[in-house]
Structure 1
């Protein structure tokens, strides 16, 4: 049986968590009573969200949904564009940068160029603008919008990190919950993400018991798969297999919520790993590029590599202060979602929902 580390709770902050919880309760009650209004749309709107702060894998799961839906439908993705420097509604193009869209939305657009990607802090306005396009999406994926109740999605998927069970957590600021764990009842699906590869049947049963999903909900377990190393800059190198790291010294540079899972994976191939960690969605500055360059140059090896996440790569692409030597050594490691069970069931549930909720959307045309 796998045991996760106990969830750390700042108990001295619990009184503030109770106040926070009261505000969340009142806000949700206003929506339930119709005092605050939500809007529904005549296309399938699938929300991929969570009830915690910190990374639960929303972007890889959004990409997974795109990959299974784009074969049959025109897919749109709408997010707020966290940490972007633009404002209002922005529709992604092939010339967009992370300043325009934020790193996650740019990553999706680069990986799925045929997908209609947009950002807008006002999700209702964003959906209306997307549906008014000549090539309007037939499905909209709302990235990280569970708390944005001004839009009522047709389907909701909540992600929960295996390493920090929501049923052991507390509300902000004592814990990391943005909503009480009871908010899971509002999901059509619950996905336990970042699971370890060695989960046993008893672990699935224990987690399922603790989550205590309702009969109308589906529960799934996913992990991350790593497929290889890709050069950050076009023309600076070839794709490398993961086992090529066995004879390399790695400088791992991350600006994500938690690099622990990534470090554990890399440790399977090499024990020569140096790390530089920045906060999630970090915007690299000139001094950071100099620090990375100096640390890399001081590694006493001729066979070395700088490795970043795919999300971090989008923020490095357009920098002009990276030398050619560093560009040629800079690779990113993309991640893909891998289901631990019932993947076919997951796909069929999504397909069924989309088939049953696809309607006439001409009313949104200008």
Structure 2
């Protein structure tokens, strides 16, 4: 704890310099020295103030599930750490190196969805409309700081365990911009909440966030389903049989996931890498050794849906070595029965949209 405080103090001058830079950039947009483009199609952005871990992908999927039966939707992501450049339409048969892990996850889970990646969203949206003129909604993934596009509805996520109100600018903290940037949000979702969150705890955090008059705060959590076998989705792992778990993950902030697994399993080990890490053969060999060293009995390897898209690059090795890797799916739920109210706000924005 003391070392952490010392490190933050040493890094604070660099955070100030970073903050001045990002503050100047935002000032140029406020003064209209740079222009934020609006489009003739509804645009909803889901993002956060911090670097990774707030749950943007599951919340985008929540919107897709709720809206895709009624609208032609396209998603637009940067395709973080992909090994290609420019605008690409993501197809299910592509791999994570081509398009990024999260876009590939969307394309495979929602085959009727138009999934796209591009570095410059302002140029990509006209490309989407040109290719699919019937597009009725664009969902921007992780675009809160991408000021070149002005979304019609801006959804800001912040983690319950580390809300932006208690965080600091990079590099002493995890914030990408000053806390005041939250003022651009229309909805604020406190994500990864405990399943037993009380109304009192929620109200205390609302008071801490101190939302503006136009903002509404929601609280969400993850509802995990039974893990499925990575190489054949038909086979499910029954966690109620006391299975020992080895978790392999390369996502930001695994505490929430590990807490869930510990409630399901008598023994949980974790093999963790940096967010979006591309697993190599050495990583797979380490995984194999760690799994072999686990006590004999009922045991399995578990990973996330996002990590599975990168592990799949080693599909042949996993099959040949018979590694029992299971993927843990999840869905977003809202506390206090407020899911319908969240849905209503999104629906009202779409109904009232004027090109």
Q: TM-score, normalised by structure 1?
A: 0.92
Pick from 40, 50, 56 the counterpart of residue 52 of structure 1: 50
Asked if the contact 1:232/1:327 (under 8 Å) is kept, the reply is: no
| Rounded Cα–Cα distance in structure 2 between residues aligned with 1:136 and 1:129 | 13
Match of 1:332 in 2: 327
| Rounded Cα–Cα distance in structure 2 between residues aligned with 1:242 and 1:125 | 46
Pick from 79, 88, 91 the counterpart of residue 89 of structure 2: 91
| Rounded Cα–Cα distance in structure 2 between residues aligned with 1:277 and 1:102 | 19
| Rounded Cα–Cα distance in structure 2 between residues aligned with 1:118 and 1:304 | 38
Q: 1:326 to 1:217 in 2, by over 3 A?
A: farther
Pick from 60, 76, 79 the counterpart of residue 78 of structure 1: 76
| Rounded Cα–Cα distance in structure 2 between residues aligned with 1:267 and 1:132 | 48
Whether 2:236 is the aligned partner of 1:239: answer yes
Asked if the contact 2:248/2:302 (under 8 Å) is kept, the reply is: yes
Asked if the contact 1:90/1:100 (under 8 Å) is kept, the reply is: no
- 1:62 is displaced (CA, Å) by 0.3
| Rounded Cα–Cα distance in structure 1 between residues aligned with 2:315 and 2:333 | 36
Match of 2:250 in 1: 255
Pick from 187, 209, 230 the counterpart of residue 228 of structure 2: 230
Root-mean-square deviation over aligned CA pairs: 1.7
Asked if the contact 2:86/2:119 (under 8 Å) is kept, the reply is: yes
Instruction: Provide Cα deviations, 1:314-350, integer angstroms capped at 9, x if missing partner.
Output: 1112325524365561101012111003111100100
Match of 1:364 in 2: none
Instruction: Provide Cα deviations, 1:71-129, integer angstroms capped at 9, x if missing partner.
Output: 11011100100011111001011321111110011111111111110000010111111
Alignment of 1:1-366 (within 5 A): 10-134=8-132, 136-234=134-232, 238-244=235-241, 246=242, 248-324=243-319, 326-327=321-322, 329-341=324-336, 342-357=338-353, 359=355
| Rounded Cα–Cα distance in structure 1 between residues aligned with 2:163 and 2:335 | 18
Asked if the contact 2:102/2:306 (under 8 Å) is kept, the reply is: yes
Instruction: Provide Cα deviations, 1:128-172, integer angstroms capped at 9, x if missing partner.
Output: 111101454210000000111011111100001111121121111
SS in 2 for 1:238: strand
Instruction: Provide Cα deviations, 1:286-338, integer angstroms capped at 9, x if missing partner.
Output: 11111111221222314221111111101112325524365561101012111
| Rounded Cα–Cα distance in structure 2 between residues aligned with 1:278 and 1:106 | 20
Asked if the contact 1:255/1:281 (under 8 Å) is kept, the reply is: yes
Which stretch of the first structure deviates more once superposed, 195-204 or 217-226?
A: 195-204
Instruction: Provide Cα deviations, 1:180-234, integer angstroms capped at 9, x if missing partner.
Output: 1111111000000011122222111111111111121111000111011111112
Q: Which structure has the highest helix share of the two?
A: 2
Instruction: Provide Cα deviations, 1:247-278, integer angstroms capped at 9, x if missing partner.
Output: x2211111111211111111112222221111
- 1:242 is displaced (CA, Å) by 3.4
| Rounded Cα–Cα distance in structure 1 between residues aligned with 2:278 and 2:139 | 26
Asked if the contact 1:251/1:273 (under 8 Å) is kept, the reply is: yes
| Rounded Cα–Cα distance in structure 1 between residues aligned with 2:219 and 2:254 | 20
SS in 1 for 2:158: strand
| Rounded Cα–Cα distance in structure 1 between residues aligned with 2:153 and 2:127 | 21
SS in 2 for 1:132: helix
| Rounded Cα–Cα distance in structure 1 between residues aligned with 2:318 and 2:227 | 20
Q: 1:25 to 1:328 in 2, by over 3 A?
A: closer
| Rounded Cα–Cα distance in structure 1 between residues aligned with 2:146 and 2:322 | 39
Unaligned runs of 5+ in 2: none
| Rounded Cα–Cα distance in structure 2 between residues aligned with 1:259 and 1:321 | 27
Asked if the contact 1:222/1:338 (under 8 Å) is kept, the reply is: yes
